Amino acid sequence: MLNDRLLNERYEIGEMIGGGGMANVYLAHDVILDRNVAIKVLRLEHGNDEEFIARFHREAQSATSLSHPNIVNIYDVGEEDDIYYMVMEYVDGMTLKQYIQQHSPIEVSEAVDIMKQVTSAIAHAHENEIVHRDIKPQNILIDHYGHVKVTDFGIAMALSATALTQTNSVLGSVHYLSPEQARGGMATKKSDVYSLGIVFFELLTGRLPFSGESPVSIALKHLQHDTPSLKRWIEDLPQSVENIVLKATAKDPFHRYESVVEMEYDLETSLEPERQHEPAFQPPDEDDGEKTKAIPVITQDNYGEQPEENTIVHSQSTTQTIVNERTDSKSTNTKESTKKKKK
């Protein structure tokens, strides 16, 4: 246990306030600058695992290259006695997942405002050629004033020449995984767009569009099933708002927003009166000739969190299973705080 430890003669470690399979997050106090911080500490069992250490360092490198009011700041990175740690801005609030669970149904105007902040953060990352690859409510923090911060760039990927030579492995949270990632394809900026659309769906309805008995069955739904109409749960939802979700989650990346900036602009104007009854988004008709898709076998990783909504999945492109598209699969670092004031 790290509680009450003075790390690097500077950070007084307090209670654990979050964590996942790769690392735990502690509330700490910086005795030099006299401020509270959040410290992410790599789990001890991964201290000798080069892959986990590389991912930990990659998160720090990705996040420290970004400076934006809606992205959690990284202050320091270090190692002491085989303890790898990252010092981050402390956000006094909760994850967006917790917020949805506590406040659903959320007003459409508030949901739009939250998504504008999230898209602003991801647009900034994309401008710096960084793809997040794991956008989900658990990686979005919201404070008492409704201010949003995106965090956890642990599997973010720089769009560099070296990144393009990586093997086509799937790594991400299955409920928010784009179809191309589920097939083992390279994650792109439009993969982040898809995940943003799923987050917006959940923010508006309080539920996920696809569920299943296993990570594979959920991934298949991302591949095979259209995103359900949100009006099933919100009858008076403006068509302009539903269109944002439907366009962002189009199966074909070419039918999605060209950029997160374009999606952000659509959010900015979505509640204008003249847009309330615009035509429903319909992607262009596709050739239905191909009846099967080859996708990688997807399994729950040993550093996944909950098997249902936080499942981290991974696979290798060398192992594939053939899926018949006509056959439906059977389906069925913050401290949580008091309620945020409604706007």
Mean pLDDT by runs of 10 across the 343 residues of the chain is 86 90 89 96 76 76 87 92 91 96 97 99 95 93 97 66 37 85 88 98 97 89 94 96 98 97 98 93 67 46 41 36 32 45 46
Query: Residue 341 has what pLDDT?
Result: 45
- The set of catalytic residues is 134
Contact 209, 250 (CB under 8 A): no
For Cα atoms 120, 125, 131, give the angle at the middle one, nearest 5 degrees. 120
Query: Residue 155 has what pLDDT?
Result: 62
Tell me the one-letter amino acid at 26. Y
Query: Residue 271 has what pLDDT?
Result: 97
Residue 71 per-residue DSSP state: B
Query: Residue 255 has what pLDDT?
Result: 97
Query: Residue 176 has what pLDDT?
Result: 94
Query: Residue 104 has what pLDDT?
Result: 94
What SS3 state is found at 163?
helix
Whether the pTM exceeds 0.85: the reply is: no
The answer for residues whose C-beta is within 8 angstroms of residue 159's C-beta and 6 or more apart is 129, 130, 131, 189
Query: Residue 330 has what pLDDT?
Result: 35
For Cα atoms 178, 237, 254, give the angle at the middle one, nearest 5 degrees. 30
Query: Residue 54 has what pLDDT?
Result: 80
Query: Residue 338 has what pLDDT?
Result: 42
Query: Residue 1 has what pLDDT?
Result: 63
List, in sequence order, every residue forming a beta bridge with 93; answer none if it has no partner. Answer: 143
Q: Which residue has the tokens 């669970």?
A: 101
Domains and CATH numbers, the chain: 6-89 (3.30.200.20), 93-324 (1.10.510.10)
Query: Residue 226 has what pLDDT?
Result: 94
Query: Residue 172 has what pLDDT?
Result: 61
List the beta strands (DSSP E) in the chain. 6-7, 11-19, 23-30, 35-42, 74-80, 83-89, 93-95, 130-131, 140-143, 148-150, 157-158, 170-173, 292-296, 299-300, 312-315, 320-324
